[in-house]
Amino acid sequence: MTLIQEIIKNAQEGKYAFGMFNTSNLEVAQGIARAAEEKKMPALIGITESAVEYAGFLPLVNMVKAVIEESSADLVMHLDHGKDSKFVKKCIDAGFSSVMVDSSHLEFEKNIEVTKDIVDYAHERGVVVQAELGKIPKLDTSVEAGVTLKQMEKTDPNEIEKFVEKTGVDTLAVIIGNVHGMYKPEGNPRLDIDLLHNLRKKVSIPFVLHGGSGTPSEDIKKAIKECGIISVNIDTEVRMVFVEALNDFFTSGQMATDPRKVLTLARDAVQKKVGEKINLFRGL
């Protein structure tokens, strides 16, 4: 059994979740690793295609690998939202043991076809695959929450069995009211726990919750305890504390000539936020 398979199995049996935290730089990756060490819990460090556009494939992948290698925590490098099959396969070849193939923008049968192709390629190489069924909207602060939320397509209970069976995927990202980005204060959408129960009755596959930032803690706890959510993705809240730490430093009138002085503050802020999320996901 690979480390990621073990992490998933333990979460399933223990009815807790582990976090998947995105990074595109060293300090965030280290903040995640340090939080996992401190809390003695596993975590996934996720990169996306746009993180690679920012940092470069080899610099980012080798940096994350090195952070994981040096850490005493159980950490796994994960590809998040792989929309391009060639890129997903490139990541598998580069040593990712966990990938997400995100063909949720395609129509149902095409989503099955693309996902299945990646599952076959990945499983031959011992790699775990997550897919997505339904469409998650991205809450952009420039767009009204209500407008963006209309783009949401929740996971259809009538499609889930066929999707899981035909693709052979290992874990599934379900769309149950969750959104990428922060919720607007006036329109916090809640997780549709009834739908999640309904989906759970149809399949036994472990579920993943995307868009964890800003989601009410009580909803997350319920989803984990009652319905087999074994992993929660967090990106926005980590980005926010990182930038906030830098803003706080400079607006306080302090000066730095060594970038490490301010980036240390940002890395510490990431460690604290990730630690809080890890506690929440294990039910504390």
Binding positions for ligand 13P, rule: CB under 6 A: 22, 80-81, 180-181, 210-213, 233-237
Q: Longest Cα pair distance anywhere in the chain, in angstroms?
A: 59
**Which of ligand 13P, ligand G3H, Zn ion, none has residue 50 at its interface (CB below 5 to 8 Å by kind)?**
ligand G3H
**Contacts of ligand G3H in 175-194 (CB under 6 A):** 180
- Minimal distance, residue 79 CB to ligand 13P, in Å: 10
**Which of ligand 13P, Zn ion, ligand G3H, none has residue 264 at its interface (CB below 5 to 8 Å by kind)?**
none
- What's the token pair of residue 67? 């952070």
Number of other CB atoms surrounding residue 262 within 10 Å = 18
**Which of Zn ion, ligand 13P, ligand G3H, none has residue 212 at its interface (CB below 5 to 8 Å by kind)?**
ligand 13P
d(CA 160, CA 172): 9
**Which of ligand 13P, ligand G3H, Zn ion, none has residue 184 at its interface (CB below 5 to 8 Å by kind)?**
none
Asked about 102 being catalytic, the answer comes back as no
d(CA 138, CA 90): 26
> Which one of 74, 80, 170, 192 is the catalytic residue?
80
Tell me if 210 contacts Zn ion by CB under 5 A: yes
d(CA 4, CA 249): 38
- Minimal distance, residue 90 CB to ligand G3H, in Å: 17
d(CA 120, CA 29): 30
CA distances from 190 to 68, 134, 181, 220, 254 (A): 34, 16, 14, 10, 40
Tell me if 78 contacts Zn ion by CB under 5 A: no
- Known catalytic residues are 80
